[in-house]
Amino acid sequence: MDAARPCSSFLSDLDFCPDCGSVLPLPGAQDAVSCTRCGLSIHVRDFEEKVVRTSVVFHKLGTARPLSAEEGPEFQGPVLDRRCSRCGHEGMAYHTRQMRSADEGQTVFYTCTNCRWVSSAFPALSG
């Protein structure tokens, strides 16, 4: 199959449908591969010299280590002048996370740079 045919919308390898861009299923025993999104049918002969390679990498047991507190997202945010309610230290890093539905505000997590105490501030709920 020529990937640059005139009615094609996408120039790509045969991993993707040339009309809609969706991922094509792997060829099976049938004479054609059909796109599950738009229904375009491609003859299996067009896949004859296509090579699919996969690999799996196993790490040695015990080589993975957990992230330390300094490497986590709570210490990668900006530091602001906020007093820790546990130790009284002035200066807390913060990061935000969407914890509820998308139409509600994000929750702000504050982490003390001194004692690592984590507190959160929830946005006001709209009623």
What pLDDT, on a 0 to 100 scale, did the predictor assign at position 4? 42
Percent share of the chain, pLDDT over 70: 69
Write out the residue range of the structural domain in which residue 104 sits. 79-121
Surface-to-core class of residue 117, CB atoms within 10 Å of its CB (0-12 exposed, 13-18 middle, 19+ buried): middle
Interval 68-88: pLDDT, tens: 555 555 555 688 888 888 898
Would 61 be classed as within a structural domain? no
Would 109 be classed as within a structural domain? yes
The model's confidence at residue 127, banded by pLDDT at 50, 70 and 90, is very low
The answer to whether 112 is annotated as binding is yes
Domain harbouring 115, CATH code:
2.20.25.10
Interval 26-65: pLDDT, tens: 787 888 989 888 999 989 888 787 776 777 777 677 665 5
The answer to whether 7 is annotated as binding is no
Own/partner pairs, 69-75, CB within 8 angstroms, 24+ separation: 69/116, 74/109, 74/111, 74/118, 75/111, 75/113
Structural domain count of the chain? 2
